[in-house]
Amino acid sequence: MGILEHKGRARIFYKYLSQVYDRINPFIWNEAMRDEAIGWLELDGDEKILDVGCGTGFATEGLLAQVDTVYGLDQSAHQLEKAYAKFGRGGPVKFHRGDAERLPFRDDSFDVVWSSGSIEYWPNPVDALEEIRRITKPGGRVLIVGPDYPNNTLFQKMADAIMLFYDEAEADRMFREAGFTEFEHHIQQARPGSPRAITTVATIPE
């Protein structure tokens, strides 16, 4: 398990990274990738959406171009402070400070649950995916973006030491173990040579 697959360490990491997150993020996860992923959800504008690990609100902002209100949850007070500065506290984002593995919502609460760039910090990703499936309505969709596993052995060793990187076979295993049956993976990349994202879009059976 990587050093940052730990809730306390991830919180400390984001205490510092939150200061520069919005300037660094576009090198590996940019608007074109985010908007392409949002397009896979084929939103009609009426969906109730949760963004798990919303951070400073980069994906939340893209989702808000499609729907009037988005729920945002993150465990980092520092990341959330940056998001509050963008959207306000009583505005279009309903914020929750909490843990992806213990989501404070009832069963079948959301039409869509989105999470980009957060799964790699979750110590028990299958537990969190189960939680996400629990709170998504039948017929609803789940979209998870994580870091694709590098091909090069040296990069694999470095990646494994830091956080969760996973390939399609591992994504299949995690999603199946969490009870998902219908899903597909897409590989995304900001530019040739930059780290790839693996984006899984799942549908909850009716």
Ligand X SMILES: C[S@@+](CC[C@H](N)C(=O)[O-])C[C@H]1O[C@@H](n2cnc3c(N)ncnc32)[C@H](O)[C@@H]1O
* Chain residue at closest Cβ approach to ligand X: 55
Residue nearer to ligand X on the CB measure, 70 or 202: 70
HSE at residue 42, side-chain half, CA atoms within 13 A, is 5
Residue nearer to ligand X on the CB measure, 116 or 200: 116
Least distance from C-beta 74 to ligand X, angstroms? 5
Residue nearer to ligand X on the CB measure, 25 or 109: 25
- Of 153, 149, 184, nearest to 163 by C-alpha is 149
Residue nearer to ligand X on the CB measure, 53 or 140: 53
> Two tokens at 16?
């510092």
Residue nearer to ligand X on the CB measure, 31 or 182: 31
Q: Give the whole-angstrom CA distance, residue 146 versus residue 174.
A: 12
Label each residue of 7-23 as H, E or C: HHHHHHHHHHHCCCHHH
Least distance from C-beta 115 to ligand X, angstroms? 7
Least distance from C-beta 103 to ligand X, angstroms? 9
| Residues making contact with ligand X (CB under 6 A) | 7, 10, 14, 25, 29, 53-55, 58-59, 74-76, 79, 99-101, 116-118, 121-122
* Neighbour count for residue 144 (Cβ, 10 Å): 29
Least distance from C-beta 169 to ligand X, angstroms? 23
Q: Give the whole-angstrom CA distance, residue 140 versus residue 175.
A: 15
Least distance from C-beta 200 to ligand X, angstroms? 15
> In which residue are the tokens 């629990």 written?
134
Q: Give the whole-angstrom CA distance, residue 125 versus residue 89.
A: 29
